Copies of this chain bind each other. A is one copy, B any other.
Amino acid sequence: MEDQEIRNAGLKVTAPRVKILELLENSDERHVSAEDVYKMLLAANEDIGLATVYRVLTQFEEAGLVEKHHFEDGYSVFELNKGKHHDHIVCITCGRVEEFVDETIEQRQQKIADELGFQISEHDLVIYGKCMDDNCDRKG
């Protein structure tokens, strides 16, 4: 049940929070923007304001339920925190996002951070490129 997750986060169990969490858990698309969530809610006939979507997503992030990423698009995307760490590769043309994990890179990153005096607490690595998808022109 989503209720408990929300309660554990120290938040009241309200309709918007439950609906948004359900949505994130059932969405085909793992990486969604606040606007995406808002549109999905409208499509599901839920009367939830965009401001609330932003507020709830931010609270979920603070509670560790979701992760927020910026990428180079001008807006933020959120994804359900699945516990295991992973990095992202983002298509600069169509916005497609793939996840990956590479132990070698992890280790090198750690080494570089150590050398430069950085503590990778909020670990977040993004590669940007161009994907070879057939319909790689506009987001779809």
Binding site for B on A (CB under 8 A): 69-72, 89, 91-92, 98, 100, 102, 104-105, 108-109, 112-113, 116-133
Contact = CB atoms under 8 A, between A and B. Distances in A.
A109 B130 contact: no
A117 B133 contact: yes
* Interface core residue of A112, A132, A133 (most chain B CB under 10 Å): A112
A125 B105 CA distance: 12
A124 B127 contact: yes
Contacts of A117: 131-133
Given A70-B72, A113-B89, A118-B89, A127 B125 contact: yes
A127 B113 contact: yes
Nearest to A132: B117
A109 B100 CA distance: 10
Contact of A129 (B108, B120, B127): B120
B112 A127 contact: yes
Contacts of A72: 69-70, 124
B129 A126 contact: no
B108 A132 contact: no
Contact of A118 (B91, B109, B118): B91
